[in-house]
């Protein structure tokens, strides 16, 4: 990663001073921030506020619901970790994490394999690419219905495996059914992003390796993988953030309120469905925090270079500033 060559700056030149630049940029970006504030910040704050309230639950003597919202502080959050709801919450938390770790791992391995095939396919290249991308184009709820047909008691899965597994009942097999459907759908996405990364690797690197006598495996391990890493990391990060919110697959394929596959977003949906918006918002907020932490950790630990260029530019600017000051 080399920084783009920047024109040398003269100290005191007002028109190109970084500060001027920044202010102009802020002005140009302000409409974007305004829109982001409206469609991102406002719902976020509204949802946070909602999570601190709870609806009246009692009935009056005529059997009518007593109306109004009560401020309950962090009680909606505290409730999550008490008694039965705690079991349910931790179970959902575990399921969510399990689907994320296992699902993303398989999707990545398969996706990279698909990308290599798409990259190397000489004949019928367009056809191979298009057919690999089909699962990604199917809406998730639709694919859940399709997989339901495959996994039903007298479905194709049991027919092919010659078994009588009841995939959609409680148990580990339900998790596997969800994972299979999820990986089938999302591996092409990873494959597509990886393919984009593969296509920018210059061919002469491989030629040099071949001249040096590197085997195919060594080329993949030492050249392809390191060079495709930035693109792959972005794909994985997107997948992680996506799977942490997984809802439609387990909900449609296996069914609501089945412990084996209940995830955090299903809990939030369930509460909202019973018009308990406070606890629902609390669950959604917890999920948000989890997703944000996971994304942050991912960027920090594995160095997914989402914001790499920006960082380089800032560093460069800082260096220049220091030079200016020193001069």
Partner 1 sequence: MIAGARVRTAALLAVAALVLTACGDDGGDAGGGGGGGGGSTALEGRGPITFATGKDTSGNMQKLVDEWNADHPDEKVTITELPESADDQRNRMIQNAQTESDEFAVLNLDVIWTAEFAANRWITELPQGEFELDQFLAPAVETGKYRDKMYAMPVYSDGGLLFYRKDLLDAAGVTEAPKTWAELTAACDKVKAAPANKNIGCYAGQFDKYEGLTVNFSEAVQSAGGSIVDDSGKPTVTSQEAKDGLNFLVEAKKNGQIPEAAITYKEEEGRRAFQEGQLVFHRQWPYQYALANATDGSSKVANKFGVAPLPGKDGPGVSTLGGHNFAISSFAKNKATALDFIKYFASEDAQRSNLLATSQAPTRTALYEEQELITKFPYLPTLLASIENAVPRPRVVKYGDVTAAMQEAAYGAITGEKSTDEALETLQSELEKLTAE
The reply on whether position 19 binds partner 1 by CB under 8 A is: no
Residue from 11, 22, 216, 303 binding partner 1 (CB under 8 A): 22
Please choose, out of 114-122, 195-203, 220-228, 277-285, the segment that lies near partner 1 by the rule CB under 8 A: 277-285
Q: How far is the CB of 124 from partner 1 (least distance, A)?
A: 36
The torsion region of residue 222 among left (phi > 0), alpha (psi -120 to 50) and beta comes to alpha
Nearer to partner 1, 292 or 302 (CB): 292
275 burial level (CB within 10 Å; 0-12, 13-18, 19+): exposed
Nearer to partner 1, 120 or 318 (CB): 318
Q: How far is the CB of 77 from partner 1 (least distance, A)?
A: 16
Nearer to partner 1, 114 or 233 (CB): 233
Please choose, out of 4-12, 198-206, 227-235, 311-319, the segment that lies near partner 1 by the rule CB under 8 A: 311-319
39 burial level (CB within 10 Å; 0-12, 13-18, 19+): exposed
Residue from 34, 221, 314, 322 binding partner 1 (CB under 8 A): 314
Mask 31-60, x = binds partner 1 (CB under 8 A)? -----x--xxx-xx-xx--x--x-xx-xx-
The contacts found for 2-11 with CB under 8 angstroms, 24 or more apart, are: 3/312, 3/313, 3/315, 3/316, 6/316, 6/320, 9/320, 9/324, 11/324, 11/327
The reply on whether position 281 binds partner 1 by CB under 8 A is: yes
Contact (Cβ atoms closer than 8 angstroms) between residue 228 and residue 197: yes
The reply on whether position 319 binds partner 1 by CB under 8 A is: no
Locate the DSSP E strands across the chain: 53-55, 69-71
Contact (Cβ atoms closer than 8 angstroms) between residue 250 and residue 262: yes
* Helical pair 83-120 and 125-137, crossing angle rounded to 10 deg: 170
Neighbours of 156 (CB within 10 A): 12
The reply on whether position 3 binds partner 1 by CB under 8 A is: no
Please choose, out of 73-81, 189-197, 218-226, 274-282, the segment that lies near partner 1 by the rule CB under 8 A: 274-282
Nearer to partner 1, 86 or 225 (CB): 86
The reply on whether position 243 binds partner 1 by CB under 8 A is: no
Q: How far apart are CA 221 and CA 231, in angstroms?
A: 16
* Helical pair 172-199 and 83-120, crossing angle rounded to 10 deg: 40
The reply on whether position 204 binds partner 1 by CB under 8 A is: no
Nearer to partner 1, 221 or 296 (CB): 296
The reply on whether position 212 binds partner 1 by CB under 8 A is: no
Nearest to 192 by CA among 248, 247, 137: 137
Q: How far apart are CA 42 and CA 48, in angstroms?
A: 10
Contact (Cβ atoms closer than 8 angstroms) between residue 193 and residue 231: yes
Neighbours of 125 (CB within 10 A): 12
The reply on whether position 4 binds partner 1 by CB under 8 A is: no
Please choose, out of 96-104, 210-218, 219-227, 286-294, the segment that lies near partner 1 by the rule CB under 8 A: 286-294
Give residues in contact with partner 1 (CB under 8 A).
22, 36, 39-41, 43-44, 46-47, 50, 53, 55-56, 58-59, 62-65, 67-69, 152-154, 164, 166, 168-170, 241-242, 245, 247, 255-258, 265, 268-269, 272-275, 277-278, 280-281, 283-284, 287-288, 291-292, 295-296, 306-307, 310-311, 313-314, 318
């Amino acid at each position: 990663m080399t920084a783009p060559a920047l024109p040398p700056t003269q100290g005191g030149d007002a028109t190109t001073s970084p500060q001027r630049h920044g202010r102009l940029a802020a002005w140009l970006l302000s409409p974007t921030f305004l829109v982001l504030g409206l469609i991102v910040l406002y719902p976020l704050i509204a949802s946070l506020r909602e999570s601190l309230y709870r609806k009246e639950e009692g009935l009056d003597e005529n059997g009518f619901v007593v109306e109004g919202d009560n401020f309950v502080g962090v009680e909606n959050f505290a409730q999550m970790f008490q008694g039965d709801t705690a079991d349910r919450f931790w179970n959902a938390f575990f399921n969510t994490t399990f689907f994320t770790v296992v699902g993303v791992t398989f999707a990545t391995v398969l996706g990279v394999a698909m990308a290599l095939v798409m990259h190397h396919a000489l004949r019928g290249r367009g056809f191979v690419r298009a057919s690999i991308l089909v699962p990604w184009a199917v809406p998730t709820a639709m694919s859940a219905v399709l997989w339901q047909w495959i996994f039903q008691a007298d479905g194709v899965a049991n027919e092919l495996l010659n078994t009588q597994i009841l995939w959609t009942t409680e148990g580990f097999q339900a998790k596997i059914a969800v994972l299979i459907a999820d990986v089938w759908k999302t591996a092409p996405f990873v494959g597509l992003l990886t393919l984009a990364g593969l296509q920018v690797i210059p061919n002469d690197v491989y030629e040099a390796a071949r001249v040096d006598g590197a085997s195919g495996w060594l080329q993949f391990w030492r050249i392809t993988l390191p060079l495709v890493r930035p693109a792959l990391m972005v794909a994985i990060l997107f997948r992680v953030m996506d799977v942490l919110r997984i809802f439609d697959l387990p909900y449609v394929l296996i069914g609501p309120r089945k412990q084996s596959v209940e995830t955090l977003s299903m809990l939030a949906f369930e509460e909202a469905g019973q018009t308990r918006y406070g606890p629902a918002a609390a669950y959604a907020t917890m999920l948000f925090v989890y997703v944000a932490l996971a994304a942050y950790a991912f960027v920090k630990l594995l160095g997914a270079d989402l914001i790499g260029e920006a960082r380089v530019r800032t560093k460069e600017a800082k260096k220049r500033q220091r030079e200016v000051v020193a001069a």
